[in-house]
Structures are given as C-alpha cells and as structure tokens.
Structure 1
Amino acid sequence: MTDAPPLTIDVDGTLTDGQGAIDHRTLPALREWPAPVVIATGKSMPYPIALCHFVGIEGRVVAENGGVVAVADTDTLQFQGDREAALAVTDAYVEAGYSLGWSEVDFVNRWRETEIAVAREQPLEPLESIAADHGLEVVDTGYAYHVKSPDVSKGKGLEVVAGELGLDPAAFLAIGDSENDVSTFEVAGEAVAVANADDAALAAADRVTEAAYADGFFEAIGLDPA
C-alpha cells in the first residue's frame, strides 16, 4: 500500500475486541503499516508507549487526551494541562462524599501527569459542577470520566506530533470511537468512527464502519483481518 496515509488511532474501543483486550490481529497491521502511526489515547503515557514498544513501532504517542505528547523520532516529550488543578477537583469530589471508583493502588491514575480519571460508575453531575468551578472540564471517553484542562485535546496533540514529523495533520487518517476523538477528527484529513462509537464521534466522522471495535479498524484501513 504505497500511498497509505499516516494514521492516528485510538486504543480502547478501536484496537480492542469488545472485552477490553487488544485484538492481537491489530499488532502486525500496525507494525507493517508503511506510513507513520500515532497512538492517541486517554490512558497515561506508559500504556501507549508500551504498546508501541511491543508492536515494534516508533513511540509516537498522544496520551491523556492530549496532555502528554511523545515523539521518539525527534526525542520530544511535552506536557500540557494542570494536574494539580485536576487533583483539586477530585479532592473536592471526594470531600463531597463521592469516590473516584478505583482500587486503593489506583493504577488508572498512578502514572497520570496532566489529568485525573474517575470511574464511570460514579456520579457525573457533581464532578462536572466541581470541575467547572475550577475552570476545568470532564470528558467521557466511554471508559472513564477525565478531569482535564479545556485547552488540551488529542487534536492539538496530533498537531504537535505532525509538526515534529514534518507532516500536515490533514495528511492523517484518524480512527476512533469516542468524544475525545472528535478533536483528532477535526484536524485529520479523513476521520473514521468504528460502528461502536458514541454519538459525538459518529456525528464528527467522515464515515462510519459497518464493523465494530478492531474489525472496524481493519475496515477503516482497508485490510482483511484474517
């Protein structure tokens, strides 16, 4: 596929199998893609960096919904956002009688540097209210509520990565499933939502796959997953 575009790809709900696990068929597809691949996720940086490492591709990562950008090609590591402000929000949320919803060790937030994530089983309305009082916002990725700075997004992170690689963001094909992918959909040249995407991603996409999860990813890039 000599004219393959560079890719920016979400992880959860896009490269996964519907049960939360990475679909193993996506790994060789990512490794063999002939153009740059950027992993863009709401997870903290160690997760997508590890994914790149074990796939065998360069570490080109937009993590924490744009709060962390890493580009191994140019030895770049950038942080945007205000973790202390996010901590103030979640501290106030807990003081109000709510919980973040994770175990005591809290691996979800342990390595998070620019935002804080709250389990989706917890009440959203008070979290949004407290975040607004602190000048922050809450983004629902479908897997967690993320308390973050409103001027941070995956789309802005992609623009940084593209600049480091000497590429136009409009050259990218973006694939995702959630409202936190809308910003990458807006800056990429083509945006594809997999069939399991939420309403925000579906509305922002240029096209929607018939297949869901990793099968949708393969449909989006025009490869047979078999």
Structure 2
Amino acid sequence: MVPPLVLDIDGTLTTRDHRIDPRVFELLPAWDAPVVFATGKAFPYPVALAHFLGRPQLVVAENGGVVYDGQETTLAGDPDACRAVVETFRERGGDLGWGDGDTVNRWRETEIAVSIDADERLLREVVAASGADVEVVDTGYAYHVKSSGVNKGKGLALLADSLGVTTDSFVAIGDSENDVSTFERAGESYAVANADPDAQAAADRVLAEGFMDGTASVLAALREDSDPA
C-alpha cells in the first residue's frame, strides 16, 4: 500500500516557471491513499486542483488558516489582526504589490499575502511594532502575514484526525519555510532541491532534483516500495 501524502504546491508540484507540472495529472489521480494539498495559497486554489485531479478535496490552505476535510471547513487565527497590520503597512507607504485586481488576496480568509518584491524590512517592522499575535512567513513566493501558531502541521493534524489516520503515516514533500511544520509531523519528509535552508534542515532527506522532478522521484520510489512484486 502506498502511504498518504501531504504535498506543497508552489515549488513542489510546479515547474521552474510556476506552472503546474503535467505529471501531477498522471501520478496523483490514481494514488491509492489520501493526498492532502498543504499550501500558502488561498482556499479555492487547492480545492480546484483536487477537483480537476478527481480526488477528494483534502486541503490545508493559507498556511494552516483554512482546513477542509471534504465536508467541514475549519478556520484558524485572527484575520482582523492580520488585516490591521497590513493596513498600517500601507499607511506607511508599503505596497502589497499585486495591483488593483489583487486576486492573490481576494478569496483569502485568514491571512494576507504581500508580494515578494514588497518592502520586507518595513513589513516586518510594522508587524513587530503592532504587538499583535501576528508573524511574517516567507514562502519564497510571497510574504504571508498570518497569526502566530497557525501552520500547515496543525492543519495536517486536524485532517489526519478526521480521516482516522496518524500524522506519522504521511509522507511530506515541500520546498519552503512554511513546510517545516508538516515535515515535523509527518513520518517521512522530503525537501526538493530548490527548497530554502529551513525546509532542507527540517527534512529527513534533501532530494537531488528540484520542483516536480524531485517530487516525481519520491512518488516513483514509494510506489515501487509498495509493489508486492
């Protein structure tokens, strides 16, 4: 039997130019165990990915702020505190960096994402001065202003309990600081070659290949190990 998976999306199931790698649609639809998509993206993105893969919608979105087990949605953290911090950032001249449309945050429920090109120093200064229980997480794709103590690992624990399995039965694959908490909960963890230093340090193994190349190699090995032949 193949193990349950907890998979990051950006940098893990994508190509170098941030597109979903087509191998996702070859390897994951028939994976005969739960597959959890754990991402910093807003809730609709991983739900849509699971939908188009024909898989149950098992989702940890917004860095653990939104958890969905296919029936019930659980929200964590204090979105008002995050919004207040970001509003102060803007008042002090900060720019979220997404333009007028800002589809990055339009459907976000528990945190705010700020462009990786924004003024990180100012953002962190505002967060530190706020006194709020809020932190900044750098995923390599955006700075996420989120409630402290909310993370993907806690979201995975909620989902595992709902599924009636243990978190240490999961294999985790990721690339960023926000994947450390899933690496700590999963029984086995892999950082793709493009992973940041925090993810590499937390993973059981750092892969020689990056992006979906690394993820595909793990999936192939897991399937081979489960083959009774």
TM bucket (normalised to shorter chain) is over 0.9
**What's the CA shift for 1:112?**
0.2
**What's the CA shift for 1:80?**
0.3
Superposed CA deviations along residues 87-135 of structure 1, whole A, max 9, x for unmatched, are: 1011000100110011101000000000000001111122112223222
Structural mapping, 1:64-83, within 5 Å: 64-72=62-70, 75-83=71-79
Question: Would you say the 8 A contact 2:113–2:145 is kept in 1?
Answer: yes
Q: Which residue of 1 aligns with 2:167?
A: 169
Superposed CA deviations along residues 136-183 of structure 1, whole A, max 9, x for unmatched, are: 100000000000001100000000000000000000000000000000
What is the CA–CA distance in structure 1 between the aligned matches of 2:61 and 2:201, rounded to whole Å?
23
Superposed CA deviations along residues 16-44 of structure 1, whole A, max 9, x for unmatched, are: 01101000111221111111000000000
User: 131-140 vs 53-62, which deviates more?
Assistant: 131-140
Q: Which residue of 2 aligns with 1:57?
A: 55
TM-score (norm 1): 0.95
Superposed CA deviations along residues 168-208 of structure 1, whole A, max 9, x for unmatched, are: 00000000000000000000000100000000000000001
The one of 37, 41, 44 equivalent to 1:43 is 41
**What's the CA shift for 1:209?**
1.1
What is the CA–CA distance in structure 1 between the aligned matches of 2:116 and 2:31, rounded to whole Å?
34
What is the CA–CA distance in structure 1 between the aligned matches of 2:156 and 2:94, rounded to whole Å?
34
Structural mapping, 1:9-48, within 5 Å: 9-48=7-46
The one of 119, 125, 128 equivalent to 2:121 is 125
Q: Which residue of 1 aligns with 2:227?
A: none
What is the CA–CA distance in structure 2 between the aligned matches of 1:205 and 1:223, rounded to whole Å?
17
Question: Would you say the 8 A contact 1:89–1:130 is kept in 2?
Answer: yes
What is the CA–CA distance in structure 1 between the aligned matches of 2:65 and 2:125, rounded to whole Å?
22
Query: Identical aligned pairs, as a percentage?
Result: 53
Question: Would you say the 8 A contact 2:94–2:123 is kept in 1?
Answer: no
RMSD of equivalent CA atoms: 1.1
SS at structure 1 position matched to 2:28: helix
Q: Which residue of 2 aligns with 1:206?
A: 204
Kindly provide the amino acid, as one letter, of the partner of residue 167 in structure 1: V
Q: Which runs of 4 or more aligned residues in structure 1 lie more than 3 Å from their structure 2 counterparts after TM superposition?
A: none
Question: Would you say the 8 A contact 1:139–1:147 is kept in 2?
Answer: yes
What is the CA–CA distance in structure 2 between the aligned matches of 1:123 and 1:89, rounded to whole Å?
14
What is the CA–CA distance in structure 1 between the aligned matches of 2:109 and 2:74, rounded to whole Å?
11
SS at structure 2 position matched to 1:32: coil
The one of 97, 102, 115 equivalent to 2:98 is 102
Count of residues in correspondence between the two structures: 220
Question: Would you say the 8 A contact 2:173–2:190 is kept in 1?
Answer: yes
Q: Which residue of 2 aligns with 1:180?
A: 178
